[in-house]
Amino acid sequence: MWVEFMNNPVGRRVGDCAVRAISKALNMGWEAAYIALTINGLQMGDMPSSDSVWGATLRQHGFRRANIPNECPACYYVQDFCREHPNGVYVIGTGGHVVTAVDGDWYDSWDSGKEVVQFVWYREENE
């Protein structure tokens, strides 16, 4: 189920999905997540919102990446993934968006349940 999660300190609802997702997944404030992503982006020579930067940030905190099988590339949605994974913390990449799922619910500033899942970051204890 979608849970509205909008912790941007000035109320912005767009453009900061990576910051919100990292903030939720790592249980840190929006500002701390922004700083962590910015430092990694600077070190990597890339933007804080790029998949490689937020992925590296998750890796530093014990997450691993898994690709979604290509059996039905346009029919496996965030809501499907969450229904099938009712326990654990996951960060879901959709290609143009990133959202965090916790114990079967996805946390986002809008209902992204119909976004197509491309890959997922998960913690070892979720296995």
The whole-number pLDDT of residue 71 equals 78
Query: What range does the domain containing 88 cover?
Result: 2-126
| Residue at 126: amino acid letter | N
The count of structural domains within the chain is: 1
This prediction's pTM:
0.94
Place of tokens 């209902």: 111
Give the pLDDT confidence of 35-93 residue by residue, as tens digits: 999 999 999 999 999 999 999 999 999 999 999 887 777 789 999 999 999 999 999 99
Residue 56: what pLDDT? 97
